[in-house]
Chain A
Amino acid sequence: MLLRRLLAAAVQLGLGLAAGLLLLEAVLRVNPHLLLRGMAAAAPIDAPLTASDYAVRFSDADLFFWHASLIHPIAPLQDQVEAQVHFETDEFGFANSAPLPARADIVVLGRSFSQGAQAADPWPRLFSQQSGEAVVNLAQPASGIELKHRYLQQFGFPRQPRWVVLEVLPSMDILGFGPDPAVQITALPFPLAQTLARRVIAAQAPAAPDYIYPLAVHIGAQSFNLVFFSYYLSALSASRADIEASHQWASYQQAVLDLAADSHAHGSCVALLYAPTKEELFFTLAANPQQLALALSAGWQGWRLASDSNLIQDAPTPRDPAQLQAQAGAARGLVADFAASHQLVFIDPTVAMAAAVADGHDPFMTYDSHWSALGHAIVAGQVNQALETHPCP
Chain B
Amino acid sequence: MGFERQADFGTPPVASDDLVTLTIDGREVTVPAGTSVMRAAAEIGAAIPKLCATDNMKSFGSCRLCLVEIDGARGTPASCTTPVMPGMAVHTQTPRLERLRKGVMELYISDHPLDCLTCSANNDCELQEQAAAVGLRDVRYGYSGDNHLGLTTDVSNPYFDFDPSKCIVCSRCVRACDEVQGTFALTIDGRGFASMVSAGQDKDNFLSSECVSCGACVQACPTATLQEKSVKAIGLPERAVVTTCAYCGVGCTFRAEMRGEQLVRMVPWKDGKANRGHSCVKGRFAYGYANHQDRILAPMIREAIDQPWREVSWDEAIGYAAGRLGAIKAEHGPAALGGITSSRCTNEETFLVQKLVRAAFGTNNVDTCARVCHSPTGYGLKTTFGTSAGTQDFDSVMDTDVMLVIGANPTDAHPVFASRMKRRLRQGAKLIVIDPRRIDLVRSPHVEAAHHLPLQPGTNVAVLTSLAHVIVTEGLADEAFIRERCDWDEYQDWAAFVSDERHSPEFLEPVTRVPAQDLRAAARLYATGGNGAIYYGLGVTEHSQGSSTVMAIANLAMVTGNIGRPGVGVNPLRGQNNVQGACDMGSFPHELPGYRHIHDAETRSLFEKDWGVTLDSEPGLRINNMLDAAVDGTFKAIYIQGEDILQSDPNTQHVSAGLSAMELVIVHDLFLNETANYAHVFLPGSTFLEKNGTFTNAERRIQPVRKVMDPANGYEDWQVTQLLANALGADWSYTHPSEIIDEIARLTPSFAGLSWAGLDKLGSVQWPVNEAHPEGSPVMHIEGFVRGKGKFVVTDYVPTDEKTGPRFPLLLTTGRILSHYNVGAQTRRTSNVAWHPEDLLEMHPADADNRGLKDGDWAKLNSRTGETTLRCRVTDRVAPGVVYTTFHHPATQANVVTTDYSDWATNCPEYKVTAVQVMPSNGPSDWQEEYTELSERSRRITGGAMEPAE
> Real complex partners, A and B?
no
Task: Name A residues whose Cβ lies closer than 8 Å to a Cβ of B.
Answer: none
